[in-house]
């Protein structure tokens, strides 16, 4: 059962794995370096580790190389206490020195082993008391699951800044970092609060504060089902999730367009509150940041409101000048991204309202924000995001149009036309997916590429950022995205015979400008793969390979243009024999700095 849950969590980390179970009053632990299949083989599918209660972990290395010794669970010297952890114990070096001075011996390089020995130091027969004392000494962001050999019917857990969910089942109860691990057994979940300690038993759950006061939380019914987290016959989750984008876009749009109007019920902001917003900050990481770059262009174009788009890791340290009339929009697939969560806290402390665009109901960012707009992407398993990115774009389109409507810039025929274009997107994305054989043939020509450059202007630059990230993260080919107007300021020096340049040109007002950039790099021997609007003959003729888009409002072009770039990355990665769903050194949910 634990192996099965870990398999569904392997997108969070897959460089080593381990399991600890309590069997006949003793802790039995098996760990292995490498992917979960190695552990599965060692335990013969789990049959060598019978037991009543257990914990398991797949690791994404932060402290110490990926190997069997550094794999979780970690334990005390007597092997009577076992711990698995997500996150980082920031003061582990000082704690480690203190424990060594008391005679404790460490076998791993990890911060987690410090927790195991601290528990041993404070454990005098009362697990809850020991856990509380340890929590008073450790600093950082973490989620912990703990076993005590002499408490064979309990799993203890606690979270601070990292996700931890509880599953309430008919035949037992569960603790996990993501609901996908337990969907086979239950869809009824509880979200414990920060620094609340969980005592999980087969027949019940008890949650207490650091002062040992009991707290209760309601049970949330998760709408996802197990089939949504499976491959469904596709070779990779990423391909399945690319193909799911028409449905995801439809599901994100449909509830929010009614009778020719935009209705975002969960937004929780009145038209008067929206009209009072003077400035918008969009804060996110990775692909979510790229949707925010697109969002900036659309908000400023439609709603005529100033927008700043920030990487969360920069925002939280640059002492941003925030005002009570500002709205901070944070974007995250998991709703657990550490830097983005820290941005929420900074914004709230400054008195700003925070709107979260997230995919996971009940996630920490959702709970910590003033308002939430959920995307309807369902579980996304592949580390490289595709469908969640598309859903975030739709949420930003709707939000920008709502702001523009309230501020008096969008109404009548223009509003109706844009709504019509929005509703056509799912069908148009399906048409784009129909080009996958053509894109695969193009991709096959560039499996051995060393450097790929993506260029675009305006929204096309935002698309290029995401296209480049997709390629580099799953194929390991060096790739960069540039605002095309910056080519002459240094980048063109990198162009040489055979360099692949992906040129994105979806904005009619900028076609001529981008054409001149294509001509510049072709003169240096570059090969051009372009993505442009149908009927743009000059770009097509200047390109070596071209994919064209159906007609749509230029502000929505990202939703169509990103499809061939996702497929290009996928087919190049697959052709190179890379692990598409589990790219090296990466994890799906980044819950540490």
Q: How far apart are CA 464 and CA 288, in angstroms?
A: 14
Residues in Cβ contact with 324 at an 8 Å cutoff, skipping those fewer than 6 apart = 350, 351, 352
Contacts 24+ apart (CB under 8 A), 74-79: 74/108, 74/110, 74/112, 74/113, 74/115, 74/116, 75/20, 75/27, 75/29, 75/116, 76/116, 76/117, 76/119, 76/120, 77/104, 77/105, 77/117, 77/120, 78/120, 79/26, 79/27, 79/29, 79/149
Whole-number pLDDT of residue 227: 66
Largest CA distance in the chain: 78
Residue 493's pLDDT is: 78
Give the pLDDT score at 267: 79
What superfamily would CATH give domain 235-433?
Answer: Glucose-6-phosphate isomerase like protein; domain 1 (3.40.50.10490)
pLDDT for position 538: 93
pLDDT value of residue 229: 66
Looking at residue 269, its pLDDT comes to 82
Q: Give the residue ranges of DSSP H helices in 284-435.
A: 286-303, 312-315, 338-349, 364-368, 387-406, 412-433
pLDDT, tens digit, 9 for 90 and up, residues 170-210: 889 999 988 888 988 998 999 999 899 999 999 999 999 99
- The two three-digit tokens of residue 254, written as one number: 């449909």
Q: Provide the token pair at 585.
A: 């050194």
CATH class of the domain comprising 2-166: alpha beta
Q: How far apart are CA 315 and CA 295, in angstroms?
A: 17
Q: What are the two backbone dihedrals, phi and then psi, of residue 429, each rounded to the nearest 5 degrees?
A: -65, -40
CA-based nearest residue to 63, from 100, 98, 13? 13
Which pLDDT does position 587 carry in this prediction?
67
DSSP character at residue 127: H
Question: Interior CA angle at 443 toward 438 and 448, to 5°?
Answer: 160
Separate counts of helices (H) and strands (E) for the chain: 19, 26
CA distance 208 to 330: 30
Domain spans of the chain, in order of start = 2-166, 235-433, 434-586
- Residue 217 burial (CB count, 10 A): 15
CATH class of 434-586: alpha beta
Q: Looking at residue 395, what is its pLDDT?
A: 96
For the stretch 58-96, what's the b/e string if a residue is b when 16 or more beta carbons lie within 10 angstroms of its beta carbon? bbbbebbebbbebbbbbbbeeebbbbbbbbbbeebeebb
Q: What is the DSSP letter of 218?
A: P
Here the tokens at position 228 are 């949504």
Q: Would you say the CATH fold of 235-433 matches that of 2-166? A: no
Strands of 140-148's sheet in order across: 74-75, 81-89, 140-148, 155-160, 197-201, 204-208, 214-215
pTM: 0.80
pLDDT digits (tens, 9 = 90+) for 309-321: 999 999 999 888 9
- Helix/strand/coil for 293: helix
Q: pLDDT under 70 in the chain at which residues? A: 11-12, 225-229, 587-593
Reduced to 3 states (helix: H, G, I; strand: E, B; else coil), residue 159 is strand
Per cent of the chain over pLDDT 70 is 97
pLDDT of residue 11: 67
Q: C-alpha distances in angstroms, 165 versus 7, 198, 271, 510, 538? A: 17, 10, 35, 48, 54
Residue 509's closest CA among 476, 541, 452, 557? 557
Q: What is the 3-state secondary structure (H, E, C) of 130-146?
A: HHHHHHCCCCEEEEEEE
Give the tens place of pLDDT for each residue, 125-155: 999 999 999 999 999 889 999 999 999 999 9
| Residue with the two structure tokens 């082993």 | 113
To the nearest 10 degrees (0 to 180), the angle between helices 387-406 and 412-433 is 170
């Amino acid at each position: 059962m634990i192996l099965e849950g870990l398999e569904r969590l392997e997108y969070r980390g897959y460089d080593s794995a381990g399991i600890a179970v309590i069997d006949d009053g003793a802790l039995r632990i098996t760990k292995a370096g490498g992917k979960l299949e190695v552990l599965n083989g060692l335990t013969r599918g789990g049959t060598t580790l019978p037991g009543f209660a257990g914990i398991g972990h797949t690791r994404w290395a932060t402290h110490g190389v990926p190997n069997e010794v550094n794999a979780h669970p970690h334990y005390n010297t007597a092997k009577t206490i076992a711990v698995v952890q997500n996150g980082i114990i920031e003061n582990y070096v000082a704690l480690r020195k203190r424990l060594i001075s008391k005679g404790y011996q460490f076998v791993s390089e990890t911060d987690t082993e410090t927790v195991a020995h601290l528990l041993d130091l404070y454990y005098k027969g009362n697990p809850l008391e020991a856990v509380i004392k340890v929590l008073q000494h450790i600093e950082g962001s973490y989620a912990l699951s703990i076993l005590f050999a002499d408490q064979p019917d309990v799993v203890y857990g606690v979270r601070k800044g990292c996700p931890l969910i509880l599953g309430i089942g008919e035949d037992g109860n569960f603790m996990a970092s993501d609901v996908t691990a337990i969907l086979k057994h239950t869809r009824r979940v509880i979200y414990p609060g920060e620094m609340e300690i969980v005592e999980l038993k087969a027949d019940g759950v008890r949650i207490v504060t650091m002062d040992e006061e009991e707290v209760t939380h309601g049970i949330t019914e998760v709408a996802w089902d197990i089939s949504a987290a499976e491959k469904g016959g596709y070779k990779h989750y990423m391909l399945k999730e690319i193909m799911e984008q028409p449905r995801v876009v439809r599901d994100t749009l449909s509830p929010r367009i009614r009778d020719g109007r935009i209705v975002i019920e969960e937004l929780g902001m009145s038209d008067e509150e929206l009209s009072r917003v003077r400035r918008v900050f969009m804060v996110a990481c990775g692909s979510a940041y790229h949707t925010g770059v697109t969002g900036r262009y659309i908000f400023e174009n439609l709603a005529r409101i100033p927008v700043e788009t920030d990487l969360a890791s920069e925002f939280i340290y640059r002492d941003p000048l925030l005002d009570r009339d500002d709205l901070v929009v944070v974007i995250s697939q998991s709703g657990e991204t550490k830097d983005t969560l820290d941005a929420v806290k900074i914004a709230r402390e400054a008195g700003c309202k925070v709107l979260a665009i997230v995919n996971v109901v009940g996630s920490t960012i959702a709970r910590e924000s003033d308002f939430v707009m959920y995307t309807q992407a369902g579980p996304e398993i592949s580390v490289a995001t595709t469908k969640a990115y598309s859903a975030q774009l739709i949420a930003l389109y709707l939000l920008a149009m709502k702001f523009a409507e309230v501020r008096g810039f969008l109404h009548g025929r223009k509003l109706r036309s844009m709504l019509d274009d929005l509703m056509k997107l799912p069908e148009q994305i399906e048409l784009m997916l129909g080009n996958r054989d053509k894109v695969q043939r193009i991709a096959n020509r560039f499996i051995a590429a060393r450097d790929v450059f993506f260029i675009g202007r305006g929204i096309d630059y935002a698309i290029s950022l995401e296209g480049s990230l997709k390629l580099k993260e799953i194929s390991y080919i060096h790739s960069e995205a540039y605002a095309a107007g910056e080519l002459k300021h240094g980048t063109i020096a990198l162009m040489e015979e055979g360099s692949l340049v992906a040129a994105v040109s979806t904005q009619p007002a900028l076609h001529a400008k981008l054409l001149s950039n294509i001509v510049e790099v072709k003169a240096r021997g570059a090969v051009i793969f372009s993505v442009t609007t149908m009927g743009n003959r000059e770009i097509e003729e200047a390109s070596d390979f071209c994919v064209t888009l159906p007609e749509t409002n230029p502000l929505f072009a990202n939703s169509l243009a990103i499809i061939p770039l996702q497929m290009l990355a996928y087919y190049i990665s697959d052709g190179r024999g890379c692990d598409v769903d589990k790219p090296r050194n990466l994890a799906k949910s980044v819950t540490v700095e």
